[in-house]
A and B are shown apart, each in its own frame.
Chain A
Amino acid sequence: MKYIPVMGLEIHAELSTASKVFCSCANDFGGGENTRVCPRCSGMPGTLPLINQNAYTLAARAGFALDCRVNNYSAFDRKNYFYPDLPKAYQITQFEHPICTDGFVEVCGGRKIRINRIHIEEDAGKLVHDDYEGVSMADYNRCGVPLIEIVSEADFRSVDEVLEYVEQIALRLKYAGVCDAKMEQGSLRVDVNISLMPYGSEIFGTRAEIKNLNSFKSIKRAIEYEIERQTEILESGGKVVQETRHYNDNHGDTKSLRSKEEAHDYRYFPEPDIPPIFMTDEQINAIKADMPEMPHKRLIRYTDKYGLPEDDARLIIADKALSDFYDKAIEVYPNYKAVSNLILVEVLRNLNDSGISAENLQFTPKSFAETVKMSENGVISKNAAKDIVKILFKKDRDPKKIAEENGFLMNNDTGALEAVINSIISQNADIVQSYKNGNNKVFGFLMGQVIQQAGKSANPQLAKDLLTKKIMEQEG
Chain B
Amino acid sequence: MKLSELRAQLDSKKIGAVELVHRYLDKIQKNDSSIHSYITVCREEAIKNAGKAQSIIDAGKASPLTGIPLSVKDNICTENIRTTCASKMLENFVPDYNATAVRKLIEQNYVLLGKTNMDEFAMGGSSQTSYFGGVRNPYNTDCVAGGSSGGAAASVAADLCAAALGSDTGGSVRQPSAFCGVTGLKPTYGVVSRYGLVAFASSLDQIGIIANSAEDAGYVLNAICGYDSFDSTSSRASIGDVTEKIGADIKGLKIGLPKEFFSDGINAEVKKAVMSAAEFYENVGCKIIETSLPSLEYAVSAYYLISSAEAASNLSRFDGIKYGHRSDEGDSFNDNISHTRREGFGDEVKRRILLGNYALSSGYYDAYYKNAARIRAQIVEEYNDIFSSCDVILTPTAPTTAYKIGFQENDPVKMYLADICTVTVNIAGLPAVSTTCGYDENGMPIGMSLVGKAFDEKTILSVCDRFEQEFEKLEATI
Contacts and interface: CB of A to CB of B under 8 A. Distances in A.
B97 interface: yes
A252 interface: no
Interface in A30-44: 39, 42-44
A82 B231 contact: no
B309 A269 contact: yes
Contacts of B321: 84, 87, 138
B333 interface: yes
Interface in B286-326: 309-310, 312-313, 316-319, 321-323
A83 B333 CA distance: 8
B458 to A, nearest CB: 25
A386 B202 CA distance: 66
Contact of A46 (B77, B310, B318, B333): B77
25 contacts: A39-B97, A42-B322, A44-B323, A45-B83, A46-B196, A47-B196, A48-B194, A48-B233, A49-B232, A50-B230, A80-B360, A82-B334, A84-B333, A87-B317, A87-B322, A88-B316, A89-B319, A138-B322, A265-B361, A265-B362, A267-B362, A267-B365, A269-B310, A272-B233, A273-B202
A130 to B, nearest CB: 15
Contacts of B323: 44
A126 to B, nearest CB: 14
Contacts of A265: 361-362
Contacts of B316: 80, 82, 88-90
Main secondary structure, interface of A, reads loop
A272 B317 contact: no
B198 A46 contact: yes
Given A90-B313, A90-B316, A46 B360 contact: no
Contact of A88 (B99, B196, B201, B317): B317
A174 interface: no
B369 interface: yes
A78 interface: yes
Interface of A: 39, 42-51, 78, 80, 82-84, 87-90, 138, 265, 267-269, 272-275
Given A78-B313, A267-B313, A46 B199 contact: yes
B133 interface: no
Nearest to A138: B321
B219 interface: no
Contacts of A267: 312-313, 357, 360-362, 365
B232 A48 contact: yes
Interface stretch (B88-96, B139-147, B210-218): B88-96
A248 B309 CA distance: 38
A342 B375 CA distance: 70
A274 B231 CA distance: 9
B180 interface: no
A47 B318 CA distance: 14
Contacts of B317: 43, 45, 87-89
Interface residues of B, number: 44
A260 to B, nearest CB: 13
Given A51-B232, A267-B360, 16 more contacts: A39-B97, A45-B77, A45-B95, A46-B95, A46-B195, A48-B232, A80-B313, A80-B316, A80-B360, A82-B337, A89-B313, A267-B312, A267-B313, A267-B357, A267-B361, A274-B232
Give the 4 A-B CB pairs with smallest separation, nearest first.
Answer: A89-B316, A267-B360, A272-B203, A272-B202
B444 to A, nearest CB: 34
Contacts of B203: 272
A248 B303 CA distance: 47
B229 interface: yes
Contacts of B70: none
Contacts of A39: 95-97
Contacts of B310: 269, 272
B197 interface: yes
Contacts of B201: 272
A88 B319 CA distance: 9
Interface string B331-366: 001100100000000000000000001001110010
Contacts of B99: 46
Given A39-B96, A269-B369, A48 B77 contact: no
B373 to A, nearest CB: 8
Contacts of B230: 48, 50
Contacts of B232: 48-51, 273-275
Most buried by B among A46, A51, A80: A46
Contacts of A269: 309-310, 313, 360, 365, 369
A225 B310 CA distance: 43
A90 B333 CA distance: 16
Contacts of A273: 199, 202, 232-233
A347 B90 CA distance: 62
Interface in B147-163: none
Interface string B42-82: 00000000000000000000000000000000001100000
A43 B198 CA distance: 11
Contacts of B319: 82, 84, 89
Contacts of B194: 48
Nearest to B373: A270
A47 B97 contact: yes
A47 B360 contact: no
A45 B344 CA distance: 15
B335 to A, nearest CB: 11
Contact of A47 (B85, B195, B357): B195
Nearest to B316: A89
A48 B190 CA distance: 13
Nearest to A45: B198
Contacts of A45: 77, 83, 85, 90, 93, 95, 198-199, 317-318
